[in-house]
């Protein structure tokens, strides 16, 4: 997504600030006017890479996902690249016969964002502040490795002056601009793959101070986000229409279709594994020995037509609709399939309940470790696209009360805050 507010050619490196929020699922670049501190450009894309099987082309973001599906999932799709940075044992992977390191993967995404901004600005961006988690790893060596890899990726992308800033501080900075007194704030960053929480002390008197690490009281997180919720909907509402629970005739008795088949379908990018000859032959066997079940035929059509990605898009649409409706429909009628089911909001909450409980436990852990009570928290600042999810809103409203919740431009506040960290 691009938001172009720039008119004329009045900017140069000296009068703009640049921030990049490199995320697990999505990444954002923000360009801010150094004088007014107003954001003048922002662009976001998915943190995904697709390496074609033939040739040296690498596709980034939404284009990578589309190309991956278009080319029948023949190459390598890489997601959640950020999680590789602190992995000491992950030095490289081999793609098309060449070693590819984590910093090289990150470089593609950072360069992509940089080039999008430079197209509009008309000059090379030299200085950037890049977000980093409050803790990459509790292991000091892994922590240092992650930071070094991120800096190296930024250098490879063409940046000269590189600053790392804590992501929760960045979210806090964009909020801090609007407060008049000291506040104790819990920052909740709910993204596609993770939910991160940071308790911090904020004050308008501290605006402009670069090192704010001492203002962080406590932080924690869980690997739960919007993608997790989509996966649960797929499992509970859609896989039964694809044959989960259907039985087929074995040698001596009726047998259930193995759940391993449907576990692969919970993450659309892994569904290509089901095209493996052995896996695909097994599905044909289940189809025949189930009495030619229409449901088993659905999964055959889905796999053969590489339809899993398109199906997940419909699941996400239904999920989003529940933010303002009590019920939505999942409708997928491609490839001679007719997958239609209703999803009620209360049912959806039950489906993801264990994940909501984990998020609540994480929040309680932060409060316990910091010896804070809910009444001590002045504001819960929400950021990240999945913070708009209705079950998340209901959860936090029940814990903190509606009056304490503040929505901080959920898609761009971290990147904007990072640009402000250049001050």
Predicted local distance difference test score (pLDDT) of residue 63: 96
Instruction: List beta partners, residue 82.
Output: none
Strands 254-256 and 247-249: antiparallel
Query: In this structure, is residue 376 part of a structural domain?
Result: no
Domain end among 351, 368, 385: 351
Between 257 and 207, residue with greater pLDDT: 257
- Helices and strands (DSSP H and E) totals, the chain: 13, 20
Domain end among 351, 383, 404: 351
Query: In this structure, is residue 131 part of a structural domain?
Result: yes
pLDDT band at 1; cut points 50, 70, 90: low
φ, ψ at 53 (rounded to 5°): -70, -35
Verify that 130 and 273 share a domain, yes or no: no
Verify that 128 and 275 share a domain, yes or no: no
Verify that 43 and 130 share a domain, yes or no: yes
Number of domains in the chain: 2
What is the Cα–Cα distance from 107 to 101, expressed in whole angstroms? 10
Query: In this structure, is residue 252 part of a structural domain?
Result: yes
Verify that 148 and 238 share a domain, yes or no: no
Q: ∠ at Cα 275 (274, 281), nearest 5°?
A: 85
- Burial bucket for residue 250 (CB in 10 Å: 0-12, 13-18, 19+): exposed
List Cα–Cα distances, 339 to 48, 82, 166, 239, 298, in angstroms: 28, 35, 44, 10, 8
Query: In this structure, is residue 292 part of a structural domain?
Result: yes
What is the Cα–Cα distance from 249 to 253, expressed in whole angstroms? 6
Verify that 117 and 261 share a domain, yes or no: no
Residue count of the chain, please give it.
Answer: 423
Q: ∠ at Cα 189 (188, 191), nearest 5°?
A: 140
Task: Give mean pLDDT, residues 315-323.
Answer: 95
CB 380 within 8 A of CB 400: yes
Verify that 149 and 298 share a domain, yes or no: no
**Structural tokens at position 254:** 């009726």
Verify that 244 and 125 share a domain, yes or no: no
Task: Give mean pLDDT, residues 251-266.
Answer: 91
Tens digit of pLDDT for each residue in 133-188? 878 888 999 999 999 999 999 999 999 999 998 888 888 888 888 889 999 999 99
CB 332 within 8 A of CB 308: no
CATH of the domain at 145: 3.30.420.40
CB 59 within 8 A of CB 79: no
Query: In this structure, is residue 210 part of a structural domain?
Result: no
Average pLDDT, the chain: 91
* In the block, residue with structure tokens 């999680």: 83
Verify that 6 and 147 share a domain, yes or no: yes
Predicted local distance difference test score (pLDDT) of residue 210: 67
Verify that 132 and 242 share a domain, yes or no: no
What is the Cα–Cα distance from 331 to 318, expressed in whole angstroms? 9
Verify that 153 and 8 share a domain, yes or no: yes
pLDDT band at 27; cut points 50, 70, 90: very high
Strands 183-190 and 195-202: antiparallel
Predicted local distance difference test score (pLDDT) of residue 274: 85
Please determine, for residue 20, whether its predicted confidence score (pLDDT) is greater than 60.
Answer: yes
Contacts of 7 (CB under 8 A, 6+ apart): none
Query: In this structure, is residue 307 part of a structural domain?
Result: yes
Q: What percent of the chain has pLDDT over 70?
A: 97
3-state secondary structure of 199: strand
Domain end among 351, 369, 396: 351
- b (16+ CB within 10 A) / e for 124-140: ebeebbbbbbbbbbeee
Query: In this structure, is residue 205 part of a structural domain?
Result: no
Least confident of 79-88, 229-238, 274-283: 274-283
Between 410 and 29, residue with greater pLDDT: 29
pLDDT band at 5; cut points 50, 70, 90: low
φ, ψ at 249 (rounded to 5°): -80, 120
Verify that 135 and 13 share a domain, yes or no: yes
Query: In this structure, is residue 195 part of a structural domain?
Result: no
Q: What percent of the chain has pLDDT over 90?
A: 69
Predicted local distance difference test score (pLDDT) of residue 182: 94
Domain extent, residue 258, equals 227-351
Verify that 24 and 140 share a domain, yes or no: yes
Tens digit of pLDDT for each residue in 109-146? 999 999 999 999 999 999 999 999 878 888 999 999 99
């Amino acid at each position: 997504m691009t938001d172009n507010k720039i008119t004329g050619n009045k900017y140069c490196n000296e009068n703009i600030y640049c921030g990049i929020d490199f995320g697990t699922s999505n990444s954002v670049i923000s360009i801010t006017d150094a004088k007014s501190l107003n954001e003048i450009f922002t662009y976001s894309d998915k943190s995904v890479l697709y390496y074609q099987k033939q040739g040296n082309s690498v596709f980034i973001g939404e284009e990578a996902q589309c190309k991956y599906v278009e080319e029948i999932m023949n190459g390598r799709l890489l997601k959640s690249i950020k999680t590789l940075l602190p992995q000491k044992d992950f030095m490289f992977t081999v793609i098309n016969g060449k070693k590819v390191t984590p910093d090289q993967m990150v470089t593609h995404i950072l360069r992509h964002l940089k080039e999008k901004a430079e197209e509009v600005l008309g000059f090379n961006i030299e200085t950037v502040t890049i977000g980093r988690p409050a803790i990459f790893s509790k292991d000091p060596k892994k922590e240092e490795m992650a930071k070094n890899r991120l800096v190296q990726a930024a250098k490879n992308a063409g940046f000269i002056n590189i600053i790392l800033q804590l992501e929760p501080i960045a979210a806090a900075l964009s909020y801090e601009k609007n407060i008049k007194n000291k506040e104790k704030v819990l920052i909740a960053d709910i993204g596609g793959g993770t939910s991160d929480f940071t308790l911090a002390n904020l004050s308008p008197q501290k605006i402009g101070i670069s090192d704010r690490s001492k203002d962080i009281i406590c932080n924690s997180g869980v690997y739960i986000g919007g993608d997790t919720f989509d996966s649960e909907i797929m499992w509970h509402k859609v896989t039964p229409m694809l044959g989960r629970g259907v039985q087929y005739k074995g040698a001596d008795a009726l047998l259930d279709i193995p759940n391993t088949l449907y576990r692969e379908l919970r993450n659309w990018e892994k569904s290509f594994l089901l095209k493996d000859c052995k896996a695909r032959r097994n599905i044909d066997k289940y189809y025949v020995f189930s009495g030619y079940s229409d449901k088993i035929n659905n999964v055959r059509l889905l796999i053969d037509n590489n339809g899993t990605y398109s199906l997940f898009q419909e699941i996400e649409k239904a999920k989003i609709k529940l933010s303002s409706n009590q019920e939505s429909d999942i409708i997928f009628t491609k490839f001679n399939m007719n997958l239609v089911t209703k999803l009620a909001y209360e049912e959806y909450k039950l489906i993801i309940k264990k994940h909501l409980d984990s998020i609540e436990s994480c929040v309680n852990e932060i409060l316990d470790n910091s010896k804070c009570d809910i009444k001590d928290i002045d504001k819960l600042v929400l950021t990240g696209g999945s913070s708009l999810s209705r079950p998340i809103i209901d959860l936090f409203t029940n814990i903190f009360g509606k009056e304490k919740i503040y929505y901080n431009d959920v898609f761009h506040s971290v990147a904007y805050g990072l640009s402000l960290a250049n001050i």
